[in-house]
Chain A
Amino acid sequence: MSEVASLRVDLGEISLPTPVLAASGCFNSGREMASLVDLGRIGGIVTKSVTLGPTKGLPTPRMAETASGMLNAIGLQNPGVDQFLAKEAPFISSLGTPVIISVAGTSVEEFCQVTLRVRDIPGVVAIEANISCPNVERRNQVFACHADQAAEVIGAMTRLTTLPIFAKLTADVTSITQVAEGCVRAGAFGLSLINTLLGMAIDTETFRPKLGAVTGGLSGPAIRPVAVRCVYEVARAFPDLPILGVGGVVSPADAIELMLAGAWAVQVGTANFFRPEATVEITEGIGEFLARKGLGSVTELRGRVDVPERVAEPAYRSG
């Protein structure tokens, strides 16, 4: 007699019904997806990043498809937190699905102002700080590229709310573990790893960049190995830290791979675009996988990658 494996994931005070969430910027708040996917069967929804004021974003073309992935340069277009509260908050609260609000800003003060406004939305279980944004007070350096600037934002946000704060980091750094450490010291409850990787594509007929903004963020299966490596490195440094793995998850095996590397749960971004029911299909596939492996809970996968002792250190790049 086989028992149905448990898909529930407890991250301290948050409990997710499944380990598969929708990633920020790839699902809005779920409204547009509701006729294609059963929102009640998703582990959670990370909403599109919201800033203090309305943000118009970057000029088109905002998208270029690349091998096994895509580049995007949206520029955080959103109507601002007041519109978000008026239009999205009632919908979010009616869902019953755990919702994580993604907050963005170009100054520590902006992150704080947005946090203050979204922290009391019913149904919200956590805040994700999208710190892959330029810091206008520090010559537009990206917060997430500097441990001290990342820590400053996270530290300020944790003082304003009892909601758990996840810091979303970029892999475009020399040491993601160092930035992770800054965030953890500043009080981050967990980390979301990773945001898109900065990339560029050029039209060889016209010699022009394919994106209006010239460069943009690479997502999709092309970046999955980078996400797996980042999750692995950070999970080894902080074994008890809740990590949400993000990057190139399309199939159940992709989600399982990130969990084996150390993720507690995963987020699905680009896959929603071409397979709107991806989150639910991946969840079903994980259930089947657990049954096949005779595992009772999805949490048994966490960090289970079997790395032979002698090659575990250090991280060789190539050759």
Chain B
Amino acid sequence: MSNHPADGPKPTAVAAGSTTSTPTVLHSRCEVLSSRELGAYHSLTLVAPEIAEASRPGQFVEIAVPEGRDILLRRPFSIHQASRRGGWAGTLEVVFDAIGPGTSWLAEAKAHDVLDVIGPLGRPFSYPHDLTSCLLVGGGYGAAPLYFLAEELRARNKLPHLVLGARDHDRVFKPIEGKRLASSIVIATEDGSLGLRGRVTDVLEDALERTAAQVVYACGPNPMLRAIAELCRSRGVPCQVSVEERMACGLGVCWTCVVPVLASDGGGWWNVRACVEGPVFNAARVWWDRWLGEPGTSETAMPPRGAAGRREGVVEAGRP
């Protein structure tokens, strides 16, 4: 896989000092340290010291596809691990499902290949201020950013409990690492091939009770996030979700990636960019019905005032 753009960015990260408050984004050519199968998924570890240093859980990177083919756009991936310490210091890991031309090409990457990476992008999860029990819920490859989050939460003396859901055991990656990181772990697979049989939403109420979770963090398919958001809202538990929407740039300039978000006072809404203001959102502020379709999506069918932004401010902003 040597056909990366020859005239790409300089080998070192370039960050012409930003003149504004916009967070600095880095652009590097990164060597592949390892490329391997991870059950049904694929894992890539990249040498990216500057990006790894700046990364926070919930942020993502945009990886370029090769030029000279008929696909052009970079592909966004959550940061699964950004190691700043130890033997893997300065590396970044992404885990992905090879579902189309871009991801299939990336899955063929070999050690020492060079990839063109932009990041870290987007707003990270914020850490709880004075709450301790956190429930991290991941569906499929949506679990990717939660390992990084669990690590950072532990470093802040929080108790990260993990719930992982997937179609089958092949799609539950790194369960052993999950056990090591989490204060408790529940795994649910739809075919029952690992852990409990069912979906994460089937085991969530139970997990909320058992862990006395004060904050929920979720990442996975959008319908799953919507169900989790609904449950958390009914129980008054603050919830942060990391969403996915089609992204052409990932940089905040194309406005393709928007999510309808309710104003904090409950009056009005706006289409907000998932790549800059997200991908992490306060679940109570996302207008799910309008975004994912069905029930009422007209202005008159907006959720009642007060529904949005409940218990906001419980979590402190964790922006870098």
* A residues in contact (CB < 8 Å) with B: 25-28, 31-38, 48, 54, 56-57, 59-65, 67-70, 72, 74, 77, 91, 94, 220-221, 250, 270, 272-277, 281
Contact = CB atoms under 8 A, between A and B. Distances in A.
B72 A34 contact: no
A72 B24 contact: no
B258 A77 contact: yes
A34 B18 contact: yes
B25 interface: yes
A38 B259 CA distance: 30
Nearest to B16: A38
Given A32-B22, A63-B246, A63-B257, 12 more contacts: A33-B253, A34-B19, A35-B15, A56-B270, A60-B246, A70-B248, A72-B254, A72-B256, A270-B72, A273-B73, A273-B251, A277-B27
A70 B72 contact: yes
Contacts of B15: 35
B18 A35 contact: yes
A167 B14 CA distance: 36
B254 to A, nearest CB: 6
B64 A274 contact: yes
25 contacts: A25-B255, A27-B253, A31-B22, A32-B253, A34-B19, A34-B22, A35-B25, A36-B251, A56-B270, A57-B258, A57-B271, A60-B256, A61-B256, A63-B246, A68-B72, A69-B72, A70-B73, A70-B248, A74-B256, A91-B20, A220-B72, A270-B248, A273-B251, A274-B73, A275-B64
B71 interface: yes
B314 interface: no
Contacts of A61: 245-246, 256
Contact of A36 (B14, B255, B290): B14
Give the interface size class of chain B: 35 or more
A63 B250 CA distance: 12
B291 interface: yes
A64 B16 contact: no
A220 B72 CA distance: 9
Contact of A35 (B5, B24, B247): B24
A60 B245 contact: yes
Contacts of A94: 19
Given A64-B246, A65-B72, A77-B271, A34 B16 contact: yes
Contacts of A27: 253
